[in-house]
Every structure is written in C-alpha cells, then in structure tokens.
Amino acid sequence: MIAIVDYGMGNIRSVEKGFLKIGADAQITSDPKTIEGSAGIVLPGVGAFRDCMANLGKLELIDTLIKEIQKGKPFFGICLGLQLLFSESEEFGKCMGMDIFKGKVIRFDFKDSQKLKIPHMGWNTVRFVNRPPIFEGIPDNSYFYFVHSYHVVPEDKSIIAGVTNYGMDFVPMVWKDNVFATQFHPEKSQELGLKILKNFSSFVDKA
C-alpha cells in the first residue's frame, strides 16, 4: 500500500485518483502508524511552506516521515512535498524544513525586463541531468505541469535529476536512493504524469 500523506493542504484527491487510475493500492492517511506500515509514501502539497510544516508538526508526522525515509522506504514528494525535504525556506521569513537534503527554497527573482509572471504556472519542459528509475520511458524535454513561486537550491548537486528554464535554469526534480521528488505535478501532467506514478508504484513493489 502506498500512503498518500494528508496534512490538510494540497491536491490530495487528484493524487489519489492518479494512483487509482494506474491500478495502484493507494490510501490517503494522516495516521503515523498507517504511514509506518505502508510500502511507499507520497507527500503532495500546495500552499505555504510554513503552514505545511506546522500542520505536519501538529499531526506528529515530521519524525515519522524522516524515520521512514532514513529506513530506505520509497518516497515521492510532489510540489511542496519536494520543497519540504530541504533545510529551510525563505517564504514569509525563514522556516526550517525536514532537512533530508541540505539547501534552501527561494523565490523566483526576475529582472523587470523579463516580464515573467510569478507564479510559474503551466506547461514546461524538463531536461534530464540524472534520470531517476521512475522516469523510465519518459522522453527527455517532455512537458509537465507546474504551479509554484519558489524553487529549490540543493547544496549537493549530485541529487539534481533535471533542469527546467523559466527565465533562468532551476531544479524541477531531485533523486537520491529511495527519495524522488518533483516540483511539477505528475497527477496533472496527463499520460506522462500517470506513467511516472506507475513507475513509482512499480519501484515500491520491487523495494
């Protein structure tokens, strides 16, 4: 069973529907014991970094998630679920994250001449730097759906799995061992997004 973590924010139902559509056994939960008993974890999220960390703390899920990741359980972070893996975010003032990966979450900062809108919203390409196994069969420079104003800056460049350009190159996905995370939304990215969910489900089955 794949546990989809519910902490009161984000696109939980659309993520669940995506996994059900590809035939995976997925369950929405905020119960630490259920998460501990799962075969894999998905952490979706849309909203403010500080609020998400606060909600995870109230539900006593932060330590559970960190321990399960450290045990080697397959983990997939989506959008804010990617950002929460990092040390800190500058959104609405400095806020500490789960510190799985060293690095910061910062806001897009464009020159006025670029006239690019924030948030970065819509379809954009992802160029692989280091292809994760859950991206098997996904062509390089494929389009995925983004909605975000902040992006991650990892200290360890080896975890960077891809690059996207929106006025500048930024990191849209990371991967290390059992941990996968994307800034874009696979559940909103049509057939290629569903293929990523299916690949993650297969990775969980083999773990």
Residues of the chain with pLDDT under 70: 112-113
Res 29: pLDDT: 97
Q: Look up the pTM and report it.
A: 0.96
List the catalytic residues.
Answer: 79, 185, 187
> How much of the chain exceeds pLDDT 90, in percent?
92
Which has the closest alpha carbon to 176: 196, 162, 158?
Answer: 158
Q: Residues 107, 113, 118, CA angle at the centre, nearest 5°? A: 30
| 2-206 placed in CATH 3.40.190.10 | no
Instruction: Tell me how far apart the terminal alpha carbons of the chain are, to the nearest angstrom.
Output: 12
- Domain edges within the chain: 2-206
- The predicted-structure confidence for 81-118, as pLDDT tens digits, reads as follows 999 999 999 998 899 999 999 999 999 988 766 779 99
pLDDT at 113: 60
What string of DSSP letters covers the chain? -EEEE-SS-S-HHHHHHHHHHTT--EEEE--HHHHHT-SEEEE---S-HHHHHHHHHHTT-HHHHHHHHHTT--EEEETHHHHTTEEEE-TTS-EE---SEEEEEEE----GGG---SSEEEEEEEEESS--GGGTTPPTTEEEEEEESEEEEES-GGGEEEEEESSSEEEEEEEETTEEEESSBGGGSHHHHHHHHHHHHHHHHH-
Which pLDDT score is estimated for 115? 78
Closest CA to 100 of 86, 79, 120: 86
Give the pLDDT confidence score for residue 48 in this predicted structure.
92
